[in-house]
Copies of this chain bind each other. A is one copy, B any other.
Amino acid sequence: MTVEEATTAPRMKAADRRELILEAATAVFGAKSYVGTTTDEVARAAGVSQPYVVRLFGTKSKLYIAVIERAYERILGEFTRVLPGPPEERMKRMGAAYAGLLVERGMLPVIANSTALGGDPEIGPVARAGFNSIWRFVRDEAGFTKVETRDFMANGMLINAIVGLRLVGAYGTEQSVTEVLNACFPDAVGVRELMPEAGEPW
């Protein structure tokens, strides 16, 4: 288990426990995808029993939906935070804000994985809604042009792929990875250290 493991579960308000579980679930779902993650792994990562996770969220899919919604809200929050300031650097700030979410374990991988679940009758609508909320924000709130919006979103998807592929953990050890990274993060220096390792986190 790569995700940190809580030791015990002393009494706590249900709302706080919910948030704690959501954070743990984000890390685990992000590392192992939706189907690949068991409710028991989430429970152990959060330091509670497996049945309690199920009882708090109803079903595994409802838990995952809560995780997705929280992740998209988090991204929108970051974008909103860096919105003020010189418009000509706005895209750069927002891109940095997105890449900065790499420090929050599972956040970007969860987003990335959610874009593959459109076919699920329960999760699909939520994933689409999240993606659309980002698109709309970039378009309307940030005021990007059509092409800028598309390119911004496209680069976000590329970052997702790089994270998901663990291209950074393999930095220097596999061919042409260097090129990929230099092309995508020409000036963002500290980003590489924030990425998950290639070996274990599965």
Contacts and interface: CB of A to CB of B under 8 A. Distances in A.
Interface of A: 31-36, 109, 112-113, 115-121, 124-125, 127-129, 131-132, 135-136, 139, 146-147, 149-151, 153-155, 157-158, 160-161, 163-167, 169-170, 174-177, 179-180, 182-184, 196, 198-202
22 contacts: A33-B35, A33-B117, A35-B36, A116-B116, A117-B164, A119-B196, A119-B201, A121-B202, A124-B165, A124-B166, A124-B198, A125-B174, A128-B165, A131-B161, A131-B165, A132-B175, A135-B176, A135-B180, A146-B182, A153-B158, A154-B154, A154-B155
A50 B91 CA distance: 50
Contacts of A139: 176, 179
Nearest to A131: B165
| Complex copy number for this chain | 2
A109 B183 CA distance: 25
Contacts of A163: 118
A168 B39 CA distance: 32
Nearest to A182: B146
Nearest to A201: B119
B183 A146 contact: yes
Complex A-B, nearest 7 residue pairs according to Cβ-Cβ distance, in ascending order = A118-B166, A119-B202, A157-B157, A118-B165, A154-B154, A154-B158, A116-B164
Nearest to A109: B116
B120 A202 contact: yes
Contacts of A116: 33, 109, 112-113, 116, 164-165
